[in-house]
Structures are given as C-alpha cells and as structure tokens.
Structure 1
Amino acid sequence: MNNTNVIGKILVIDDESINAETMMDTLEDVNYQVSIAANAQEAKRLIENQTFDLVMMDVWMPKQDGMSLLEEWTSAGFLTPIVMMSGHAEHKDVVRAIKLGAVDFLKKPLHDILPLVRKLLSNEATRDNQNSITGIDFDQPLKVARNIFEKEYFNHHLQKNNYNIAAVAVKAGLERTTLYRKLKDLGIDKNKA
C-alpha cells in the first residue's frame, strides 16, 4: 500500500488469524494501514515502536487476555482508542470493557466494520481537536479526578514533546524536581521514548 494514501493506522490483536486477516483485507482495501498481532506480547512490541489511530482487540487470547491488556494499557495512560471484540461475550464482559476504557465492544464475526471504523476515527479526530478529557468519573472525589486529569495532561505533553522533561516542566510551569516527583506519584514512566 502506498503510505501517502493511508487514512489511518489500525492495530488488530486477534489470535484467530482468519478473523484478523479478513479485517485487514477489508480495511486495507479502503487505505487503512493495518498491523496484526496474534497475542498481547506481539501487540506490546508493536505499540512500543509505532503509533496507531485505533486498536481492535479480541477478548480471548492465549497467555494474557484482552481484558487484562486493556486494563494494563488504560492504567498506564494509553490514549489510543481501543475496541474490544468477542464471539462469546456476555453482558458483564461488555460492561467491564467499557468501564476499563474501551470505546466500543463488537460481537464477532464482524460484519460491515468500515462504518464503525470511520465513525470511531472521525470521533477521535474531533475529540483531539477539542482537547477533551476522557475517563473521568465526576462522581469520584476531587483528588481522584484530579489525578486522572493530571495523568492524562502529563502523558499528552510527554508524548508531544518526545519525553523531554525540561520542555514539559516549562509547559506545566513546574520546577523539574517537582515534575519528576509528580510523575513518580502518578506512576508515569518519564523515559518512554
């Protein structure tokens, strides 16, 4: 595929290769760039080296399942929208996935995924333009909500400034030592580059 025509980068995480390849064929036909990971470990390697506009992840996978990977990534401040998929999901799985930060939950086999992908990616572009805050439950105590905001704020500026602590400190109006302490308290890895 010609990279100049790519309209979005999508990571599909599914141990059933026939599902992943069918999704890839469908999405690449309309100029999405698709990478496939067969398990959580492969997905983590891909995420370390590339950025994606959307992640579509199966719930049931060997070793580490999709739910625990979703929880791991959202706890770490992962900002890419994640759609969970399953052919055997129960209502409680859907509720749990959404509470953990998934933007949607799809039943497999997937039919007509293009409208959904287009909608999610256009919503993400709109959300980026509005600099909106996601994932804050306003019924939480102020300290909890503030920590969620600060974590998202610092992750955003660290990524935007290529993890340059001095630049982020200036942007945040903090001394570097204060920023280091704040990042440590929030559990943010300041060296992720």
Structure 2
Amino acid sequence: MKANILIVDDEANTLASLARAFRLAGHEATVCDNAARALELARTEPFDLILSDVVMPRRDGLLLLEDLKTAGVTTPVVMMSGQAHIEMAVRATRLGALDFLEKPLSTEKLLVTVENAYKLTRLEHENRELQRRVGRHTLVWTSEVMRRAMTQIERVAASESRVCIYGETGTGKELVARTLHEKSARANGPFITLNCAAVPAELIESELFGHERGSFTGATQRHTGKFEQAHRGTLFLDEIGDMPQAMQAKLLRVLEEGEVERIGSGKPTTVDVRVVVATHRNLEQLVEAGGFRRDLYHRVVVFPVELPPLRQRLNDLPALVEHFARQVSAQNGWKPVPFTHDAIEALARYQWPGNIRELRNIVERLLLLADREVDAEAVRLALPSSASKPHSGNAPLTDASGPLAERVLAFERAAVLAELDRNQKHITQTAKALGLERSHLYKKCQQLGIDLQNLPNRD
C-alpha cells in the first residue's frame, strides 16, 4: 500500500518530521503551511488522506474542513492539535473528519490511521464505480455478428494479452474495453482511460507518465500519470492511431520495461498495467504509410477485435432501444414510454453515422418529447434533417436549398471534406488549416456525418 498524503500545518518542523516519517514508511507526502493553499491542492490533485492541524493563522483547520466539504472534496481528513478538547473533537467529527489526533503524535498511530483512511478511500471509490457501472456499461446484443465478437471478447478477457479494438466512432469500443477489464483478474483494480486524439501532442506525455511540480511552465503541482493511476488495473488508450510518433517510441519503452518516469523526476516507477487500445483507423495501413511504428503495432495488436457499426447489426436495434429507454427513464425518474413497431422500423431505415452513441442520444430526445408512446412521426422529427435526403458515404452535400441551418451544415461538410482532400486525409494538418483542435475536428466530422475511416479517394 502506497498512499499519497497532504500534510497541512503552519509549523515547519512538524511538516518536515511528518513528511519524513511517511516517506520512510513508503508513502508520498506533500506539505503545505496554510489552509488556502491546501484547499487548492486538494481540489486539483488526488490524495488518499489529508492530515491537518486545527490551530493555524488566518484560516484554521476546522474552517478548511468546511471549505473542503463545500468544494466537494471527498478525501478523508484527519485533524490534529496540541490544544485538543472534547468540543473541538466533536465539531471536527460533525464536519466530517475521519479521526482526531492529539499532539505529540505517535508514529505508529499515524501509520495505522493512514492505512484505515486508504482502505476507506478504496472502498468508497469501488462503491462509486459500481454505482456508475450499473445499467450504464452493459453490452446489449442479439445479432450473429455481435455473437462472434462477444465470443472473442470472452475468450481473451481472462488473459493478460493486449487487445486492439477496431471500430467506427460510437460503436462502443470503450464499453468493450470495460468488459475486458471486468471479466479479467484485474477487475478489482482501476480502469483508466485516455483518448489520444483529444489530448494536445505537447501534453500527452504528462497525461500518460505524469510530471513533478516545476518540471515545466504551468506545472504548479505534481501530477500522477495514467499509467500510475492504472497500476494493477487496465489502461484503455482510445484512438491509438492518432498518437504522435514521438510518444509512440516512449510508449513502446514502457510496454517493454514496465516502468514509467514522471517528467522532471529522473526516477523510474514500476507499473503493473494491462494495456487495451482502440482505433477507428487501419493500423496496418498506417504502418505501411510510416504513420505508426511497426514495433509498437506488434506490441499492442496481439489480439484484434472488430466491432461492427450499427448499420451492420440492425437486428440489435430493438433490444438497444429498449435498453436505452429503460436506462434514460430510470436516470430521470420518468415513466416508461413504449416505442411502436413503426417507430423501430423508422429507426432501422437510418444509416446511424454516429452508431450506438447517436442512437442513445436519439432515444433520449424521443423520450423528452413523448407523451404516451413514440411513433414513426416522432422518429422522423427527431432524426437529423439530412436523414430524409438520399445520400451515402462521404459524398459532399452541396444542396443549396432548404432552411439556413441545413445550408450552413452542407457548406461546412463540403469545406471539411475539401480540406481533408487537400491535406491527403492528414487529420492534424487538416485541423490546423481549419483553425480547430484535432479533437474538435473529430467531433465536427461526427456531427456532419463524415466517416473518417472510409474517406474515398477523389481526384
């Protein structure tokens, strides 16, 4: 057990001695001499325990406890004081303190308190995870194509093999990764995610490996990276095909050696992590084009799993609609509303460029507007206006008729497709030319129904 502890006290000697005691016991300790700074640290960095003195100038420990509660910080807090009395201890307990220790402090008592707080933090985290998972992270399927995919998932889940999940945006790649984690021996460990396409290239190393305070401009406190957060659990790297090549080499080294090094640390930390990756891109083609390292490809694509798009598994649509309707109704406290047979047929005629994610959003929209039932007319009104227009694939929409909103969307779609052609489908260069972040370009393409995986070659 290695806990991350924040110590708050206005006495420098106390901070130094407590920090030394915790570090000798194998824990990490951050020291702070005032309540305002402590609140800032607690809101921005995950601690397993906050140990705070009561009597401090300007703002005392009990007021800090109130501030932490108001800010929604759930980290267990232990109060300590050399001027302890019953009233102070009672007030601290009512404010939510886990324990109250009287100075001078016993090292043995401190370490037992840390161990108990760490166990409490883990239990609360696991409880929140279980509550979050119930109903939300369930794979729903009845089709034969999904049965084959699930057979593969079940087969590989119990192993330590690295899995690469292929599929279009919105097909449920993260849900499959969670299923792999929950069916593995690491199920009681953390499940940590990182979307490689959503993090700027200059920040992705810090996100993966962490950094020390002051290691670069803007690093105002130590940051624990995703690999360390996922220790003894699973790290899911979504859109691995968009990881910058400089980071690909560093990721390869971590996979080979099982060690990470925070930026500015110089000290390697051993991590025990199962890495699962996903992408909507063809990694083999990327390797041949020089956009993805061949050695990293062979490290992460040990067991490939292909997720079909929703348009190829429409037999699952009734079950998915029922699942999402039940889920959305339960979350909002709504009375269940049935979908007519005609409504399901109308949903099945749509191409679903956003796949499962789009379907859930549409179901929620339909339930918001529904009275007694959801019929085909409600579906027609809820689906994007372009759904009624016959077009396929990535053919540009250049129709200049219709409402202004539709004309703007058609113009945006044509502009994005033209820029993708101009930059030979290079996402980063296209985003730069359009003045967008790379992650924003992905969202814009999804909104416009542009399938980045299957862009046609146009002369």
- Structure 1 counterpart of 2:331: 173
How many residues align structurally?
135
2:12 is aligned with 1:17: yes
Contact 1:19–1:109 (CA<8 Å) still a contact in 2? no
1:84 aligns with 2:79: yes
Tell me, what secondary structure is at the counterpart of 2:57? Answer: coil
Q: Which of 94, 118, 122 is the matching residue for 1:121?
A: 118
Offset of residue 57 of structure 1 = 0.4
**Structure 2 contact 92–100 (Cα < 8 Å) conserved:** yes
| Worse overlay, 54-63 or 120-129 | 120-129
Pair 1:73 & 2:231 matched: no
Which amino acid is the alignment partner of residue 123 of structure 1? L
SS of equivalent to 2:91 = helix
Larger radius of gyration: 2
Distance 1:40 1:108, change over 3 A: same
- Shift of the alpha carbon at 1:131? 4.0
Q: Tell me how far 1:25 sits from its aligned partner.
A: 0.5
Answer yes or no: is the 8 Å Cα contact 2:77–2:97 preserved in 1: yes
How has the CA–CA distance of structure 1 residues 123 and 48 changed in structure 2, closer, same or farther, with 3 Å as cutoff? Answer: closer
- Does the CA contact (< 8 Å) of 2:12 and 2:33 recur in 1? yes
Q: Which residue of 2 aligns with 1:58?
A: 53
Q: Could you say what secondary structure the match of 1:7 adopts?
A: coil
Residue 95 of structure 2 is matched in structure 1 by 100
Q: Deviations over 1:123-170 (max 9, x none)?
A: 3223333349xxxxxxxxxxxxxxxxxxxxxxxxxxx99xxxxxxxx7
Higher relative CO (Cα under 8 Å, sequence separation at least 6) belongs to 1
1:38 matched to 2:33? The reply is yes
How much identity, in percent, do the aligned residues show? Answer: 36
Q: Distance in 1 between matches of 2:61 and 2:121?
A: 21
- TM-score normalised by the chain length of structure 1: 0.63
Using the alignment, how far apart are the partners of 2:128 and 2:42 within structure 1?
23
Q: Specify the alignment match of 2:198 in structure 1.
A: none
* 1:60-117 superposed Cα distances (whole Å, 9 cap, x missing partner): 0110111011012113322000001101011000000000010100001111211221
Find the aligned partners of 2:40 and 2:67 in 1 and give their Cα distance. Answer: 14
Q: CA separation of 1:44/1:127 partners in 2, compared to 1, >3 Å: closer, same or farther?
A: closer
What is the match of residue 247 of structure 2? Answer: none
User: How many angstroms apart in 2 are the aligned matches of 1:97 and 1:123?
Assistant: 18
* Cα offset, 1:30, TM superposition: 1.9
Distance in structure 2 (CA, Å) of the matches to 1:103 and 1:85: 11
In structure 2, the partner of 1:186 is: none
Asked if the contact 2:39/2:68 (under 8 Å) is kept, the reply is: no
Corresponding residue SS for 1:173: helix
Deviation digits for residues 6-54 of structure 1 (CA, Å, limit 9, x no counterpart): 8111000000111111111111112211000001122123224311110
Name the CA distance, whole Å, in 1 between partners of 2:121 and 2:39.
22
The yes-or-no answer on 1:130 pairing with 2:127 is yes
For residues 77 and 110 of structure 1, what CA distance do their matches in structure 2 show? 28
Q: Give yes or no for contact 2:43–2:73 (8 Å, CA) kept in 1.
A: no
Three-state SS of the structure 2 residue aligned to 1:25 is helix
